[in-house]
Structure 1
Amino acid sequence: MNFALILLILLLVSGAIWAVDAFVLRKRRPADAKDPWWVEYGASFFPVILIVFMLRSFLVEPFKIPSGSMIPTLQVGDFILVNKYTYGIRLPVINRKIIDINSPQRGDVMVFRYPEDPSLDYIKRVIGVPGDVIAYQNKKLTINGEPVPTTRVDDYLHPERLYYSRQFTEKIDAAQYQALNDADAPPYIPGPAQFPNRELCSYNAAGVVCTVPPGHYFVMGDNRDNSRDSRFWGFVPEQNIVGKAFFIWLNFSDFSRIGSFR
């Protein structure tokens, strides 16, 4: 469901009702006449819809985390806020950038439209920016030939499934975060898709090596063996970017998570 398009249609309809009533119909009604119900509702909803539309399109947008691909950073059921302007001002619905501000940086947690189905929003961590050579070999990550600094910490217990994953602290540029992998999961990438710029990736028994093309980004989930990401379906085009995730504002199962993500 394209909520932005639905919101735009509601805005245009309610705005048209408000404008026609304000500039035409109101002048024709007797001073003591009651507004028709369709005018009353349409005109009263217009400013509310306008505020919601502007906030959601240009400032912040809420999302709910549907899967465990970003555990432990983000949990299933987290409601997050996404900064819509940090990567530039975009026109709603068509998602075309009109003002350039910043570009995604390595380590950012980014929301984007899934390249294979742009009606779906995905969230992953930016690992590679244009021109980077990303290698994920035997579950070790390198960027431009330099190993990403990694420290083993206590294993992570998945509370709902009651099993442990190996947990590491990784540091990419200014971002430091926890990442997981499973000891019994193979390092190779099973069944990668035939995506655009597929020739820039090479697959082997140890994993994958990719060169990020201009205008694209390489993203991965923090829960490495339970995430379908750029290793499987390729690069994220710049025009698919939605914004940068920055805040957990609600989790009905665990209120202590509110505000725990930056």
Structure 2
Amino acid sequence: MNVIAFILVFIIVIGGQFIGCWFLFQKAGKPGWMALIPIVNVYVMIELSGKPKWWMLMFFIPGVNILFAIGLYIDFFKSYGKFKLSDWMKGILLGFYFMPKWGLDPKVKYLGVVDAEFKEKHKAHLKKSSGQEWTEAIIFAVVAATLIRTFFIEAYTIPTPSMERSLLVGDFLFVSKVNYGPRTPMTPVAFPFAHHTMPLLNTKAYWDGWELPYYRLPGLSEVKKGDVVVFNYPMDADSPLYRPVDKRENYIKRCQGAPGDTLSVVDAQVFVNGKAAPNPPGEQIDYSVTNNSTEQINSKVNEDLNITFYEGNPSPTMTKESATTLKGYSYIKSVIPLIHPKGESMTGQIFPTKYPKLYSFNNKTPEYKWNMDNYGPIIIPKKGWTVKLDSLTLPLYGRAIEVYEGNKLEIKGTDIFINGKKTDTYTFKMNYYWMMGDNRHDSEDSRFWGFVPEDHIVGKALFIWMSWDDNGSFLSKIRWSRLFRGIH
């Protein structure tokens, strides 16, 4: 029901603006249907408001496009006699209602492009110098864009191959803050549109002298298993960064385990509460491929089957479907998944033994004999769950207790002290999640650094609005087939 509600809200918000543009375009003598076509509707708005055509290019730059979109909307509204700051706020923040209303109002007329002649003609309404007007517009744009990014939706770019083949490097996404409920700002003093580091200057883009407690507004749903989620990287809490929660690096993975679940990985297959979890459509792992010595796999086959060779990894990476197809080629002898066998230990490389601080008695490294393909079982903490702390559980949950939930945890011999009190149990204050990349052998995820606390959750990935292939030829840089594709 929550998904249906979100879809309805999304249709109303986006559809309302499209309908409003339809009627407003008609008032200016333009065909209304042009409002329904992405990119074309932006071009028409640029034309009607008198902005230079090069503004179109700015709409393909994440972050910058938000500022230019707000600036365009402001001049577009001015073209219809909407000169007040309150009108701009109505049109940008509540456009799904006010734009159709203005479009159907016979008193609202198209007045022309916003140029020098326009400003002279309507100076009685504007009553501002060019400098004042631009200053007010920029301040409003920054405030409005910040509110939109904080509470509604934000653009995100896929920087690494950890989610391939579901999401590719160069995919540009829209991430909804509404689905799980937006977080209120935790580090309120920060430079607009910079996450944690200032571009070029390479200095902090925030001041951590004033931090607010975590609070999340109501959302449409909880984080569900199978959701593709953007979250703050928990390990940025450590030296040398010591970043506040909301300024930690943004990561994107798929939720494989929810609070209270018991999760394990058996031969690269995730099991949750004893049942095999559905495999993502783009899930892939590494394979060993043996072929006839007289015939080699050509690049066209690799391209057709989306077989990838990552730097530093000699083994081809592909989906199960691609592996099955490859086996059918006459010159292929074998295609074998490279699975770390059960009992093979990756101590020191994966969670919990990879942490700089080892939560164990007498600083003795526990032997879990886990690896990336055979892992667990492990219980994911749930708010209100009380865990018995001993030599096996303390290394798993010590970091959450101390770092994520802000307690002072001390180990003296075999005794555990939390906030100065000796104890052998702990009750969790937050929910936690288990996140994994679909590119199972090329993803550093919860198997390596553990749980994701609920206060680190940023939002749900909705759809790809642009996809750019740096390795493609000049005419194939844009992956047209991926544009406006939903994320599953």
Q: TM-score, normalised by structure 1?
A: 0.71
Aligned length: 220
Secondary structure at the counterpart of residue 97 of structure 1 = coil
Counterparts of 1:185 and 1:46, CA distance in 2: 55
Q: Closer, same or farther in 2 for the Cα pair 1:86/1:196, shift >3 Å?
A: farther
Structure 2 counterpart of 1:133:
262
Between 1:230-239 and 1:153-162, the stretch displaced more is 153-162
Q: Is the 8 A contact 1:189 1:207 kept in 2?
A: no
Does 1:165 find its partner at 2:317?
Answer: yes
For 1:225, the aligned partner's letter is H
Counterparts of 2:264 and 2:310, CA distance in 1: 31
Counterparts of 1:197 and 1:217, CA distance in 2: 21
Residue among 461, 464, 476 paired with 1:245? 461
Counterparts of 1:49 and 1:74, CA distance in 2: 30
Q: Closer, same or farther in 2 for the Cα pair 1:211/1:165, shift >3 Å?
A: same
Question: Per-residue displacement from partner, 1:77-115 (whole Å, max 9, x unpaired)?
Answer: 100010111101321354631335421000000000000
Unmatched tracts of structure 2, length 5 or more: 1-62, 68-84, 86-123, 188-213, 237-244, 285-303, 322-335, 361-366, 383-430, 470-478
Between 1:105-114 and 1:95-104, the stretch displaced more is 95-104
Secondary structure at the counterpart of residue 98 of structure 1 = coil
Unmatched tracts of structure 1, length 5 or more: 8-17, 19-30, 170-181
Structure 2 counterpart of 1:194:
355
Structure 2 counterpart of 1:99:
218
Deviation of 1:55 after TM superposition, in Å, equals 1.5
Percent identity (aligned)? 32
Q: Is the 8 A contact 1:70 1:222 kept in 2?
A: yes
Structure 2 counterpart of 1:220:
436
Does 1:184 find its partner at 2:338?
Answer: yes
Counterparts of 2:359 and 2:275, CA distance in 1: 23
Q: Is the 8 A contact 1:202 1:210 kept in 2?
A: no
Deviation of 1:217 after TM superposition, in Å, equals 0.3
Secondary structure at the counterpart of residue 116 of structure 1 = helix
Question: Per-residue displacement from partner, 1:131-179 (whole Å, max 9, x unpaired)?
Answer: 101101221211101123559999641288796434248xxxxxxxxxx
Does 1:204 find its partner at 2:401?
Answer: no
Q: CA RMSD in A?
A: 3.6
Secondary structure at the counterpart of residue 486 of structure 2 = coil
Deviation of 1:76 after TM superposition, in Å, equals 0.4
Structure 2 counterpart of 1:83:
176
Deviation of 1:197 after TM superposition, in Å, equals 11
Structure 1 counterpart of 2:482:
257
Q: Which has the higher helix share?
A: 2
Query: Greater CA radius of gyration, 1 or 2?
Result: 2
Counterparts of 2:144 and 2:128, CA distance in 1: 26
Structure 2 counterpart of 1:13:
none
Flag the structure with more relative contact order, 1 or 2, with Cα contacts below 8 A and sequence separation at least 6: 1
